[in-house]
Amino acid sequence: MDNMKQPVNNQQSSQIPDLETNPSQLVDVMPAKKKSKKILYVVIGLIIFSLALVGGLFGWYQLQLQPVNGQEIAVEFTVEPGTGAVTISDNLESKELIRSSTAFQFYLKQRSDSANLRTGTYLLSPSLSASEIADVLVDGKVAQRLVTIAPGLHLGKLKDSLVTQGFKEEDIEKALVRKDLLVDVKPPDASLEGYLFPESYSLPLNASVDDLVERAADEFAKNLSDELKTSLINRNISVADAVILASIIQGETDNANEQKNVAEVFLNRLEVDMPLGADPTFRYAAYVEGLPESPSIDSPYNTRINRGLPPGPISNFKITALEAVANPGDHDYMFFVTGDDGKFHYSKTLEEHEEKVDKYCIELCKL
């Protein structure tokens, strides 16, 4: 039994290389393994490269959709009828409103809006992202011109402000002397001084100064509510006188709460025929007379030397100033001074007032 040899599976033995008798067979086996590893490495490398390429392209694409810069400046941009998305994108890039025309076109395709860009003139900014610009063009948010009439401006200062906002001086001067506005509100011979409502108005790009003045006059009439008129009637104050007093109050303070207290001081003074003594009036008088500002300037507008109300308003004002005339504070103060601390200090007597002037008002009381 020990000498008997086990039968050998010829099929298996044929697959096992006889390295002792034929060592060259080792060469045939090893290269196959190396080749498969090389292929695997190549495939993995290609996958990594593809992922890196896709990631890089995605990062580039996302970057191109960001704002060009942070400058919040208005750039006029027009989309002419029949202009396609490619040309619009190119024009946006050439005006430096977007970073990349290619990225913007791809973005429009993504949101299926390539054919939805509307014609018109727009005000865009390099501070807007590509998505925000696309929203403006798709929604057709055509350009509006924002023009501001600030409170506390007399017509001379308003003219200067409108010049800086791009209107022509000669057009402004003609618009500000119109007599056909607010004929049912202001006295027949009164100018528009005090009657142009302070607000930021959104107007078409081609709007004229007349358009602005009409809007401001209409806004004044709208804010002069029936309730406000009734309150003035109950206090036996005409709209014209209330407008004059409101303009003086606006010159004293922009704070709605303080406006009520200041209004009551002025009403208390008017009741006893005491001069209002309001500094904004002598400053306006200087403007009217073309003279240096002085508390003693000879002008009917100067309430430092004249009793009662001046002939007309000295500026426009917030509606809160007019509301303060209709519903003033409840006190019996006759004097006030704005201190260097920015606070209002009220007094009932002249002696008390002078003490508070000496105590609280050094720099601001220098004229």
Q: What is the pLDDT of residues 289-331, one digit of tens each?
A: 999 999 999 999 999 999 999 999 999 999 999 999 999 999 9
Binned at pLDDT 50, 70 and 90, residue 23 comes out as low
Look at residues 152, 150, 169 and name the one whose alpha carbon lies nearest to residue 160: 169
Helices 130-139, 101-110: inter-axial angle, 10-degree rounding: 60
Q: What is the pLDDT of residues 33-63, one digit of tens each?
A: 667 777 877 777 778 777 766 667 778 888 9
Binned at pLDDT 50, 70 and 90, residue 143 comes out as confident
Range in 26-35, 99-108, 161-170 the model is least confident about: 26-35
> Which pLDDT value is given to residue 246?
98
φ, ψ (nearest 5 deg) of residue 194? 90, -10
Higher pLDDT, 72 or 100: 100
> Which pLDDT value is given to residue 116?
95
CA-CA distance, 58 to 64, in Å (whole number)? 10
CA dihedral 151, 206, 123, 72 (to 10 degrees): -30
CATH of domain 75-142: 3.30.1490.480
Range in 51-60, 89-98, 211-220 the model is least confident about: 51-60
Mean pLDDT, range 255-275, rounded to an integer: 97
Binned at pLDDT 50, 70 and 90, residue 12 comes out as very low
Asked if residues 176 and 195 have their Cβ atoms less than 8 Å apart, the reply is no
User: What count of other Cβ atoms lies within 10 Å of the Cβ of residue 219?
Assistant: 17
CA-CA distance, 341 to 339, in Å (whole number)? 5
- Average pLDDT, rounded, for the chain: 89
Mean pLDDT, range 78-102, rounded to an integer: 95
Helices 319-326, 256-271: inter-axial angle, 10-degree rounding: 40
HEC secondary structure over the chain: CCCCCCCCCHHHHHHCCCCCCCCCHHHHHHHHHHHHHHHHHHHHHHHHHHHHHHHHHHHHHHHHCCCCCCCCCCEEEEECCCCCHHHHHHHHHHCCCCCCHHHHHHHHHHCCCCCCCCCEEEEECCCCCHHHHHHHHHHCCCCEEEEEECCCCCHHHHHHHHHHCCCCHHHHHHHCCCCCCCCCCCCCCCCCCCCCCCEEEEEECCCCHHHHHHHHHHHHHHHCCHHHHHHHHHCCCCHHHHHHHHHHHHHHCCCHHHHHHHHHHHHHHHHCCCCCCCHHHHHHHHHHHCCCCCCCCCCCCCCCCCCCCCCCCCCCCCHHHHHHHHCCCCCCCCEEEECCCCCEEEECCHHHHHHHHHHHCCCCCCC
pLDDT exceeds 60 at position 187:
yes
pLDDT exceeds 70 at position 7:
no
CA-CA distance, 267 to 245, in Å (whole number)? 9
> Which pLDDT value is given to residue 4?
45
Residue 25's alpha-carbon distances to 9, 12, 72, 219, in angstroms, are 20, 16, 77, 101
How many percent of the chain have pLDDT more than 90?
Answer: 72
Look at residues 91, 171, 173, 167 and name the one whose alpha carbon lies nearest to residue 133: 91
pLDDT exceeds 50 at position 8:
no
Residue extents of the structural domains in the chain: 75-142, 146-218, 226-332
> Which pLDDT value is given to residue 18?
55
Asked if residues 327 and 227 have their Cβ atoms less than 8 Å apart, the reply is no
How many percent of the chain have pLDDT more than 70?
Answer: 89
Tokens of 30: 């090893």
Range in 141-145, 176-180, 261-265 the model is least confident about: 141-145
Q: What is the pLDDT of residues 236-263, one digit of tens each?
A: 999 999 999 999 999 999 999 999 999 9
> Which pLDDT value is given to residue 24?
52
> Which pLDDT value is given to residue 361?
86
